[in-house]
Amino acid sequence: MHVASEVFPFSRSGGLGDVLGVLPAVQAGLGAEVTVVSPWYADVQEAVTPLWRGVLAGVPGQPPLPEVRVGEVRRGGVRFLFVGLPAFDRAGLYHPDDVWRFSLFGRAVLPVLAQLGVRPDVLHGHDWQAGLVVAHARLAGVRSVFTVHNLQYQGRWNLMDGMGWTGLPEWAFTHQGLEFHGDVNLMKAGLVFSSQVTTVSPTYAREITTPAFGEGLEGLMRHLQGQGRLSGILNGLDQARWNPATDPDVPVFTDPRGKGAAVAALRAEFGLDGAPVLASVSRLAEQKGMDLLIGALPQLVQDWNVVVLGGGDPALEAGLREWEAHPRVVFAQGMNEPLAHRIYAGADAFAMPSRFEPCGLSQMIAMRYGTLPVVRATGGLVDTVPADVGFSFGEASAGALVAACREARAAFDDPAGWAARAARAMRLEFSWDGPAREYLGLYARVLSGAAPAVTGLVEA
């Protein structure tokens, strides 16, 4: 049973929703009985079959839960259960009071399952929004796996309020160390109470045991690593959704020789000149290194047309808008999936200057379309971009990005060599079959091994 705050196509803000849109179906195809539990947001448009509505019995001494409603969709061999609470009856997925909202969700999930007569063999929680579900599952004797998709976002709130929201006993905070610098930390709840912890790439699993990437939890991560409870399983890619041979949004092609029509179409769409196209499709955030890209633009436009699709940090949006009058810079604000497909297919190179990258899907998509990545050597970018395909740099600086892009431009000026790189990129295999099997193997080990002790955990 997967528990996550978003799942494509019902709800999505980024890579987490994409993962939950594919992994459960692949696991079901491999013979597992798979259920996905997610909030019933007001924005869920698909027809959901109501199953149950009522008031759940709360934990003695804790505030009662509000009325809960549960609905179901069955699709692709997977059962999707949506848990509706008044706190989620508003537009959008995420809000400033999310620690409170997902505390309610975390307390409600297991009692809802009990009402439906459901008890999973293994519960697989994803990111901090599912951390409290994992904690309650552990107390109920249910084995679990907890996946960290991004350690930077932890679900923290002041301890005075947060303890009362969680429904956890006081010893979970004092003895277990769920208190985190005076706060409740729902990410830490998932880490502490799960049977196994995974991240979405092997390199990120190693990085988060260090102060540079551990976000204050590196001590706990090293403890989990020492217990054999921390590992990295690389995300896959929805290769049906991202397939240049069948993509309805682009001139289809199957090898680099056929990519020319997509490149010409993108140039015509934005009135670009004959210089190669360097693209980025990204959240505009410091994590993604978009400030480095903006800082590099004065040098990049000497060699490249630069096309950026994304939204997020208002300061970064404003920084890109300052370049909109430049003939070699295009900034399309927001997210537009058909345009994203056209950019992936029509660009020559793809920039991902991330300060950290737990896995990353954009570099996989780009390579699937024969678009060569220029990436910072971190996290999943290390694990997915071969040296004979893409280009990488180490220092998180505009200068290092410029140097890597100049290396890429020199390679572009050798058409045969560039085409060989693009051909290798398009042959890379990023399907979900391998990762899905790894997770099923991990579930089997969780079920067959001794449950981790509920005591003896370290302070982070």
Q: Which residues are annotated as a binding site for ADP-alpha-D-glucose?
A: 12
Burial of 258 (0-12, 13-18, 19+ CB in 10 A): middle
Q: Which residues are annotated as a binding site?
A: 12
Residues with Cβ within 8 Å of residue 51, at least 6 apart in sequence: 70, 71, 72, 81, 116
| Residue 173 tokens, joined | 């905070």
DSSP H or E run through 365: helix 362-368
Q: Compute CA 183 distance to the chain's CA centroid, rounded to the nearest angstrom.
A: 24
**Length of the chain in residues, anyone?**
460
d(CA 302, CA 328): 9
Backbone dihedral region for residue 360 (phi beyond 0: left; psi -120 to 50: alpha; all else: beta): left
| Residue 413 tokens, joined | 């000026």
Burial of 413 (0-12, 13-18, 19+ CB in 10 A): exposed
Integer-rounded Cα Rg, in Å, for the chain is 23
CB of 410 closer than 8 Å to CB of 388: no
Return the beta strands (E) in 164-288 as ranges.
Answer: 179-180, 183-185, 196-199, 230-232, 277-281
| Residue 397 tokens, joined | 């600086």
Q: What amino acid is encoded at 198 in this protein?
A: T
Helix, strand, or coil (residue 123): strand
Instruction: Kindly report the backbone phi and psi dihedral angles of residue 44, in degrees, each rounded to the nearest multiple of 5, phi listed first.
Output: -65, 115
Between helix 398-412 and helix 415-427 the angle, nearest 10°, is 110
Q: What angle do CA 71, 72, 73 make, to 5 degrees?
A: 140
Question: How far apart, in Å, are the Cα atoms of 10 and each of 7, 21, 41, 47, 73?
Answer: 6, 9, 9, 10, 10
DSSP state of 60: T
